[in-house]
Structures are given as structure tokens and as C-alpha cells.
């Protein structure tokens, strides 16, 4: 009985570890989130770039940092599929752009961060690097 409890506890702890799977939460608002909110809003303001990333024609005020756990979990799943060599994504910022999404990945291994744009069904509609 004690052995079962010990094994069960170990499995629980490992399953909660960020190394054990996809990221299920979004980063909280901070200076980085404010910076990328401005970057995404600039992208929307440029018709050519907005159309290139297939983003909806909405106003800048309709872009928001996401805190919904279900949306954050879905973003984590999609990013793990895009970047299978990085199964534990630890620096995701997720933005809702009308009915579309943007995910900021700060774990690129370089000086720039990845911005990945997704349609409402979480299909990749484009990406770029920004600083």
C-alpha cells in the first residue's frame, strides 16, 4: 500500500512538471506582453502585413492578451506540434486578434522572438521574428 501511494505521488508530481508536457498557462501581463501587444497592433495597422498573415481587419483596441486557460492550453499544444524539439515551451504570450490568435515564443535560441499567427481554427497563417 505504501509503495503504491509513493509511486502514485511520484507520477502526479512528474505530470505537473513543466518538463513533462505542454505549457498550459499564458504568461501574465508584463513589459514583454506590452511590447508585443504594440508590435501586433502595428502589424494590423499595415494593410499589406495584415493581409499577408491573413489577420482580420479589426481595430487595434480589439487585440488582447489572453488569460483563458483553455485558449492557453490550445496554444501550447499547437506550438509543441510546430516545434517538436522544444516540448516544454516556457515563455508563451498569447493574444486574441478578433477571431484569430498570435503566440509569442521567446525560446527561439536567438536574439529574436517568434510571432506565430493562427486563424480561428488554430491553423498557422504566418510567422515572423521580432525583437
Domain hosting residue 98, numbered range: 22-130
Band of pLDDT at residue 130, cut at 50, 70 and 90:
confident
pTM across the whole model:
0.78
pLDDT at residue 105, as a whole number: 86
Q: Give domain status of residue 98, yes or no.
A: yes
More confident residue, 90 or 34: 34
Question: Is 55 a residue whose pLDDT tops 90?
Answer: yes
Give the helix ranges, DSSP H, for the chain: 2-16, 31-45, 47-52, 69-82
Q: Give domain status of residue 16, yes or no.
A: no
Q: Which of 105, 95, 106 is nearest to 56 (CA)?
A: 95
pLDDT tens track for 21-36: 444 578 899 999 999 9
Q: Give domain status of residue 118, yes or no.
A: yes
Q: Give domain status of residue 108, yes or no.
A: yes
Task: Pick the range with the lowest mean pLDDT from 50-54, 112-116, 122-126.
Answer: 112-116
How many domains does the chain divide into?
Answer: 1
Amino acid at each position: 500500500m505504501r509503495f503504491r501511494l509513493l509511486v502514485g505521488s511520484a507520477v502526479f508530481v512528474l505530470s505537473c512538471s513543466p518538463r513533462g508536457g505542454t505549457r498550459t498557462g499564458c504568461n501574465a501581463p508584463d513589459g514583454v506582453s506590452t511590447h508585443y501587444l504594440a508590435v501586433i497592433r502595428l502589424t494590423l495597422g499595415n494593410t499589406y502585413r495584415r493581409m499577408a498573415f491573413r489577420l482580420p481587419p479589426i481595430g487595434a483596441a480589439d487585440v488582447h492578451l489572453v488569460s483563458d486557460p483553455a485558449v492557453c492550453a490550445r496554444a501550447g499544444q499547437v506550438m509543441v506540434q510546430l516545434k517538436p524539439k522544444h516540448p516544454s515551451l516556457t515563455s508563451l504570450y498569447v493574444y486574441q486578434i478578433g477571431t484569430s490568435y498570435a503566440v509569442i515564443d521567446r525560446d527561439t535560441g536567438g536574439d529574436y522572438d517568434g510571432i506565430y499567427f493562427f486563424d480561428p481554427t488554430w491553423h498557422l497563417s504566418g510567422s515572423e521574428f521580432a525583437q
